[in-house]
Copies of this chain bind each other. A is one copy, B any other.
Amino acid sequence: MDRVKRKERILKYRGAIVDVYDDIMEIPDGSTAHWDYIEHRNGAAAVLPVLEDGRVVLVRQYRSALDQETLEIPAGAKEEKEEPSMECAAREMEEETGYRPGSLEKLITVCTTGAFCNESIDVYLARNLTKTSQHLDRDEFLNVEFWDLDEACSKIYSMEIKDAKTVSALLAYKNKYCK
């Protein structure tokens, strides 16, 4: 189809985990437009851990960007761009929840906000969990919570759970395995 084309991408700011660019776009009518582009440097992975009894393991933490606490599935950035997302998911899950996955299945991939950001999160389903221990980063503080799947899903409709990867993961799991 007819479409805008990128003429130039200009680096404007290097952040802690993202780089910020000004994309100069060429429009078919000959004019130009400026689009923001936020590059998540390493990419990320997330995981929905499910216990033998069917409960899901979620983490509650303070998100400065939202200025509120959120209830989310465990997730984190890759240590380097080349880290396989499955390894990242297993590592982040154990660090954040103190559970190690016995099996991991790729469930879905979500692009969080493709209008201006390249962030893509591979979301895994973890089962056969073993209890180990939490290992949080120095700037990471979170509480682990256990919820029945239906209770967690009802929190999506009451908007207590709003985090996009978490909404997607809970409903994708329920729709695939627990209809």
- Residues of A that sit less than 8 Å from B by CB: 1-4, 6, 12-13, 15-18, 20, 22-23, 25, 27-29, 31, 33-38, 60-66, 70, 72, 107-120, 138-139, 141-143, 153, 156-157, 159, 162-165, 167-168, 171-172, 174-176, 179
Contacts and interface: CB of A to CB of B under 8 A. Distances in A.
A82 B102 CA distance: 48
A27 B139 contact: yes
Contacts of A1: 60, 62, 141-143
Q: How many copies does the complex hold?
A: 2
Contacts of A164: 110-113, 164-165, 167-168
A12 B174 CA distance: 41
Contacts of A29: 138
A153 B175 CA distance: 9
B163 A111 contact: yes
A157 B177 CA distance: 12
A117 B65 contact: yes
Nearest to A141: B3
Contacts of A72: 114
A8 to B, nearest CB: 11
A156 B13 CA distance: 33
Nearest to A167: B168
Nearest to A165: B164
B108 A138 contact: no
A120 B62 CA distance: 16
Contact of A114 (B13, B23, B25, B65): B65
Given A117-B113, A162-B110, A164-B165, A62 B171 contact: no
A15 to B, nearest CB: 4
